[in-house]
Amino acid sequence: MVKSLYAVEEAVNTIWVFLEHSDGVIRTVSLELLGKARELADGAGWSVVALLLGADVETLAPTAFAYGADAVRLAEHPLLANFTVEGYTHVACEALLAAKPSAFLLGATPDGRDLAGRLAVRLRTGLNADCTDLRLDPETGVMVSEVSGFGGGVLALLQMQHHRPQMATFRPGVFPLCAPDPSRHGDVIPIRVTLTPEMLHTHVVERVVGAGLDLSQAPVLVVGGRGVEGDFDTLRKLAALLGGEVGATRPPVDEGHIERARQIGQTGVVCRPKVALVCGVSGAFHFVVGIQDADTVIAINNDPEAEIFKHADYCVIGDVREVLPALLEQLQLQSGC
Ligand SMILES: Cc1cc2nc3c(=O)[nH]c(=O)nc-3n(C[C@H](O)[C@H](O)[C@H](O)COP(=O)(O)OP(=O)(O)OC[C@H]3O[C@@H](n4cnc5c(N)ncnc54)[C@H](O)[C@@H]3O)c2cc1C
């Protein structure tokens, strides 16, 4: 068996969380992970450390403390201003080898996945990707990651007995965002950066930021499935009146009725809205994982046996072509539009 670069006995009872940030703001997924790490660390008497890499980013440390970090390991360098997988891997690897934390959690975002894979190989450790939950056994210090597979037919519990750090990635929205506590403080521990320009094969020429749609934070979701037959205009009007966003299952996305960024589910976005109005959706597992943590689910389907009704708080058996225009009319009347 390949040995990790540091052994279980050497590992320190600390959970590290990679802090992703953009334009001076920490990404929500990193804050969600800090909250989860805090909860696990409190149960086991461990500490939580946020790993912060960038240029002029020390101002983000108080936010990390407020969301649960006890300390921030800070690497600041002009070559870290933009994420490059070579630069971030080099610095994170040195920092991890120096401090030897027992666990390292990252968001399953494009950058987080890129960094996690490289780091796991370099550190000769394991990586549990796209986990849906995480537990920590305080007796053994072993983490148990939950991963679903085979269309939800299998729930795998993964643990790393012999390798450290125990690495895992989590998609945005898997864990709730805890309320910040601005009274929390901590230590900022600088990391010496040994990065040189020759080590970087990637040069960021231009950064183009997309529309910034973040469905995982929408308070209300109006979701259309194959049953709405591509009529997303009605759903957009409903979402606007309800102060929410439009989402979709995979078939309307594949058919080009709506952009892929709005796909909800296992290969889309995992959301926690207060209300999800789910229209013409059968309730396949791959979709349900994206809304199962909604406070209230209202489902409209013309099939009384539809699986989605098992996951709904309110079930409307009816044709979306009749129910949705009637609902829209009532909401417009009430709002005076
Ligand atoms: C590896 C993998 C990953 C996947 N990831 C995702 C994912 O992230 N998100 C996702 O959504 N899917 C995903 N899928 C696909 C998923 O398994 C389902 O096929 C998909 O969710 C079904 O979408 P749907 O409910 O819109 O369509 P259907 O299953 O076709 O259901 C349509 C529903 O609409 C109802 N209906 C039809 N007409 C009307 C009407 N006039 N009024 C009211 N109701 C009506 C029908 O009764 C039916 O229940 C994935 C599949 C795989 C294999």
Among residues 135, 129, 161, which one has the least CA distance to residue 147? Answer: 129
Residue 164 clears pLDDT 80, i.e. is over it: yes
Pocket lining: 250 vs ligand 1, CB cutoff 6 Å: yes
Q: How far away, in angstroms, is 282 Cα from ligand 1 center?
A: 5
Average pLDDT rounded to a whole number, residues 288-293: 92
Q: What is the pTM of this model?
A: 0.78
Closest listed residue to residue 160, CA positions, set 2, 321, 310: 2
Q: How far is the CA of 156 from the centre of ligand 1 (A)?
A: 24
| d(CA 211, ligand 1 centre) in Å | 26
Least confidently predicted of 27-41, 144-158, 247-261, 316-330: 144-158
Reported as a single tens digit per residue, the pLDDT across 176-190 is 999 999 999 999 999
- Closest atom, ligand 1, to C-alpha of 248: 11
Structure token digits, residue 336: 């005076």
Strands 143-149 and 154-159: antiparallel
The enclosing H or E element of 250 equals helix 250-254
- Of all protein residues, the one whose alpha carbon is nearest to atom 37 of ligand 1 is 227
Position 246 scores a pLDDT of 97
Instruction: Provide the 10 A C-beta neighbour count for residue 91.
Output: 23
Q: What does the pLDDT look like over 234-279, one tens digit per residue?
A: 999 999 999 999 999 999 999 999 999 999 998 888 898 999 999 9
pLDDT at 152 over 80: no
Calculate the alpha carbon distances from 132 to 77, 280, 300, 311 in Å: 34, 26, 27, 18
